[in-house]
Amino acid sequence: MNAPMDNLRSGLADLAGDVNPVDLRDRALRTSRRIGLRRTAVTSALSLVLLGGAGFTAVAMTGGGAPAEPATTPTVSPSGQVSPTDPAAARVAGAYYLLRMAGDTKIELHVLHESYRCGTPDPGTCAPDIRPERLRTIDLQKGDHCPWNSVAVSPDGAQVAWVVGTGQSDGSGDLMVADTRVGEAHKLATGVLCGGSRALVWTPDSRRLFIGKLGNAATVGTVDAAGGAFTPMEPQAWKEAETLASGPFRGSVRDGLLTVTEADGTAPRSVAYRDEHDMDVVVLGVSADGRFAAVSTGAGDPSRRVYVAAVVDMTTGKPVEFAVGKVNQVWFQADGSMVVRVEGDTGTLYRLDPDRRLIAEIPVESALMNAMPFQAVFG
């Protein structure tokens, strides 16, 4: 099963193969009708309720969720090794962003600032200092899912972007950018897609956003966060650059195969994978060395995914087991370490070393236990 707009990049990947301009608005409207029919066919237990939180990352989860062309047959490196990388040193400090609904018309943005007085989270050295902070409140129209689905904080933590729906059924709206704490929001662009798990992706320098736009023809590119200037890009180049904004690899699940490739779509490695309910899934993150791929929970709706059904070892094709418990969220770091959240434990985040051994526990204050973590930034 493959929803055409299951995520933003999946839809845009289809466009990359189109030689002639595509009327994406017409495509989106047809998709909307198909999704409506599909919703009636699945049970309420499997239908996605957006505000119930079936949808983050990271960037929310690091590592590309961009679609990749799968290998024709499942392949695994016989040596059990993946392509070597030269990862950056571990970034100790972290910022974990969370969303919480406040009634039907407001979204609260919160952050947990993580730091270590000893300068390192090595086991037994020192516990993390956690400073929660409530940031800005985002207003929305009742029933508008675009803001919740698209909120993205810049890597420097200074700005936040989101899409405001315009009442159309095409999954697009107005792109807004504001200071994370105070001040008015400014409209940068119109007709910006808000669907998928990575609707908006910041460039590493926090100056631009990767977006997809609707119009007479499908367009992808970047928009300047200061002045709103839009720079269109060739779809394949856009996919590569958008992936590299958060990691060197991207992944997809298609036709029973989980595939991880380089950011440019080369060097595919595939293993068998299907959602237990045969629902659509996306790859939310890939580790910096390409070994681990975090696959989302299944859904029948083109909404943001934040929760992980499995972290798959691409060298074996098997789910990874964690001593801390069943992982339902993961943020990969450049040095191979990771931060995870465990199913049934909303009060703690866990820092793990590259061998998945516990380094530190990060407490989440009780007031935020019902909030949805959707993005993590390290360094």
Classify burial at 23, counting beta carbons within 10 Å of its beta carbon; exposed 0-12, middle 13-18, buried 19 or more: middle
Phi/psi of residue 199, each to 5°?
A: -60, -45
Instruction: For 296-347, write each residue's pLDDT tens digit.
Output: 998 877 788 999 999 999 999 999 999 999 999 999 988 888 999 999 999 9
- Report CA-CA distances (Å) from 71 to 84, 197, 256: 20, 23, 11
Instruction: For 138-150, write each residue's pLDDT tens digit.
Output: 999 999 999 999 9
As for how many domains the chain has, the answer is 1
- The predicted model gives 97-116 an average pLDDT of 95
What's the N-to-C CA distance of the chain in angstroms? 38
* Residue 2 resides in a domain: no
- The predicted model gives 189-199 an average pLDDT of 94
Q: Above 80 in pLDDT, residue 52?
A: no
Q: Above 60 in pLDDT, residue 74?
A: no
CA angle at 139 for the pair 9 and 222, rounded to the nearest 5°: 30
* Residue 3 resides in a domain: no
How many CA atoms lie less than 13 Å away from 236 in the CB half-sphere? 9
Q: What share of the chain is helix, strand, coil (3-state, %, to 5)?
A: 15, 35, 50
> Which tokens go with 223?
């928009």
* Residue 148 resides in a domain: yes
* Residue 277 resides in a domain: yes
Count Cβ atoms below 10 Å from residue 262 Cβ, excluding itself: 19
d(CA 92, CA 122): 10
d(CA 97, CA 135): 10
Q: Above 90 in pLDDT, residue 244?
A: yes
d(CA 376, CA 373): 8
pLDDT value of residue 61:
44
Q: Above 50 in pLDDT, residue 57?
A: no
Task: Return the percentage of the chain with pLDDT > 70, whole number.
Answer: 74
pLDDT value of residue 303:
80
pLDDT-derived band at 91, boundaries 50, 70, 90? low
Q: What is the mean pLDDT of the chain?
A: 79
Instruction: Give the structural domain span for 242.
Output: 8-378
* Residue 281 resides in a domain: yes
- pTM, to two decimals: 0.78
Which of helix, strand or coil describes residue 10? helix
Phi/psi of residue 217, each to 5°?
A: -140, 150
- The predicted model gives 350-368 an average pLDDT of 91
pLDDT value of residue 360:
87
Task: List all residues 6 or more positions away from 212 whose beta carbon is below 8 Å from its beta carbon.
Answer: 8, 11, 12, 192, 193, 199, 218, 219, 220
- The predicted model gives 254-258 an average pLDDT of 96
* Residue 235 resides in a domain: yes
- Report CA-CA distances (Å) from 191 to 188, 214, 227: 10, 5, 17
